[in-house]
Amino acid sequence: MADTAAAKGDAPRRKSLLDTLEVDTRLLGMIGAFVVLCLVFNIITDGRFLTPRNVFNLTIQTVSVALMATGMVFVIVTRHIDLSVGSLLATCSAVMAMTQTAILPDLLGGLNHPLTAPIALVIGLCVGALIGAFNGWLIGYLTIPAFIVTLGGLLVWRNVAWYLTNGQTIGPLDANFRLLGGINGTLGETGSWIVGIVAVVAALLALASGRRSKKAHDFPVKPLWAEILLGAIMAAVILGFVAVLNAYDVPENRLERLFEARGETMPEGYTEGYGIPYSVLLLIIVAIVMTVVARKTRLGRYIFATGGNPDAAELSGINTRLLTVKVFAIMGFLCALSAAVASARLTFHSNDIGTLDELRVIAAAVIGGTALAGGIGTIYGAILGALIMQSLQSGMAMVGVDAPFQNIVVGAVLVVAVLVDILYRKRTGAK
């Protein structure tokens, strides 16, 4: 019958190492490109690119775009686009800034009240999700193309933000709120090691439970050594990342000030590393949650099914209109989260916050392998895409490339990345 050819292909054969490990070769290619990029910059800058300090800065600079890129994956997978994310970020940032500087101090009595940051954050997240849901309703139920709705949104929300703040820079923001910004809030060395070890244990447990569930149904599993090798690589990467961030020492005079604030004197030769910034921890949590949503929930299934074949999804009883609302609500929520990180990093809300972020976010998702035709995309790919873009940008700045050339290179890289992706998909026969 027609299937014999396929059956033959399944006959036992010698597999390569990569096949045995069952890793995504596309992911491997991206990681390879990223590593090459880092090494090249490191050589040109005489080793200044891969210092703990620069790695630390790179990660906190990436967070804002990477957070939104995870949401953009869902938007693009369902065959939509969101051009309004940068403007939505500005509106959410304005709302949060006004809440914590103009409204809450009067209500709670004074600045830096412990409740100020959480309340401002919750209000911002609600506003973001609601605006996103509204966009989704226009697109899903009123069937206005997403391109138009969000192109309009690009203008509308940018200027709503302007109106809310009268165009002023709002700051300084609440001290607790600023902890989200990166360098102003980190876990410290011990906390970072704890998080790192918890992450390693969780990763190993996930590998083990995946293997157990496959075995329970008598599916073929990887050889045990491959599983162990994979686990060892994951553990090494996680702990290595923690070690690098811990190796970036807090400047001496800053430590001195910290000790003074506590009424102590700093011991001679005392050092302390920054560790993992809260914002990076936030990104990691969002990445895990979004990956679980994409792969392990009905919502994720329906997002990918709708992207693959909207008619089939509809005929399978999926409410694709409501799905659109949900996808854009998630996008709006992430814009608000990103707004909190971005404004906390600056320590104030500025009128131009998030300008052109929509392009960076879309580029990150696309470089990360999200297909504009829909149905294909991964969360980790989008984050890696954001990291690659940020590395390029700051690497070039470090080398001293002129600003116009920086943007020319980033634009060209976007186009070339998509071309490489198309060629790769053709060669591997994937769609």
Q: Which residues bind other proteins (CB under 8 A)?
A: 1-4, 6-7, 10, 213-214, 216-217, 219, 292, 296-298, 301-302, 304-309, 311-318, 375-376, 429-431
Q: Name the residue nearer to other proteins (CB basis): 190 or 297.
A: 297
Omega before residue 114 within 30° of 0, cis: no
Residue 365 near residue 382 (C-beta atoms within 8 A): yes
With respect to other proteins, which residue has the nearer C-beta, 85 or 371? 371
Q: How far apart are the C-alpha atoms of 188 and 124, rounded to whole Å?
A: 28
- Minimum distance from CB of 317 to other proteins (Å)? 4
Alpha-carbon span 13 to 11, nearest angstrom: 6
Residue (10 or 268) nearer to other proteins, CB: 10
For 181, the token pair is: 């910004």
Task: Say how far apart CA 81 and CA 390 lie, in whole Å.
Answer: 22
Contact 312, 91 (CB under 8 A): no
Based on CB atoms, which residue is closest to other proteins, 296 or 426? Answer: 296
Q: How far is the CB of 206 from other proteins (least distance, A)?
A: 13
How far apart are CB 295 and other proteins at their closest, in Å?
A: 8
Least Cβ distance, residue 116 to other proteins (angstroms): 35
The token pair that represents 95 in the structure block:
């709302």
Nearer to other proteins, 312 or 408 (CB): 312
Q: Residue 100 is encoded by which pair of tokens? A: 């914590």
Alpha carbon distance 305, 375 (integer Å): 7
* Closer Cβ to other proteins, 300 or 385, answer by number: 300
State how far the Cα of 200 lies from the Cα of 231, in Å rounded to an integer.
9
Cβ closest to other proteins, residue 261 vs residue 430: 430
> Taking the complex as a whole, how short is the minimal distance between the CB of residue 132 and other proteins, in angstroms?
23
Query: Other CB atoms closer than 10 Å to residue 423's CB: what's the count?
Result: 10
Q: Which residues, 6 or more positions from 313, have their beta carbon under 8 angstroms from its beta carbon?
A: 302, 305, 306, 320, 323
* Cβ closest to other proteins, residue 53 vs residue 212: 212
> At its nearest, how many Å lie between other proteins and the CB of residue 17?
19
Least distance between other proteins and beta carbon 85 (Å): 24
- Written as six digits, the tokens of 166 are 């009268």
Residues 6+ apart with CB under 8 A from 207: 227, 230, 231, 234
Rounded CA separation 142/131 (Å): 15
Measure the N-to-C terminal CA separation of the chain; round to a whole number of Å. Answer: 25
Nearest distance from residue 299's CB to other proteins, in Å? 10
Q: Which is nearer to other proteins, 113 or 211 (CB)?
A: 211
Residue 298: which H helix or E strand, with range? helix 298-308
Report which of 63, 60, 42 is spatially closest to residue 51, judged by C-alpha positions.
42
Residues 6+ apart with CB under 8 A from 123: 95, 96, 99
Q: In angstroms, what is the minimal distance from the CB of 214 to other proteins?
A: 6
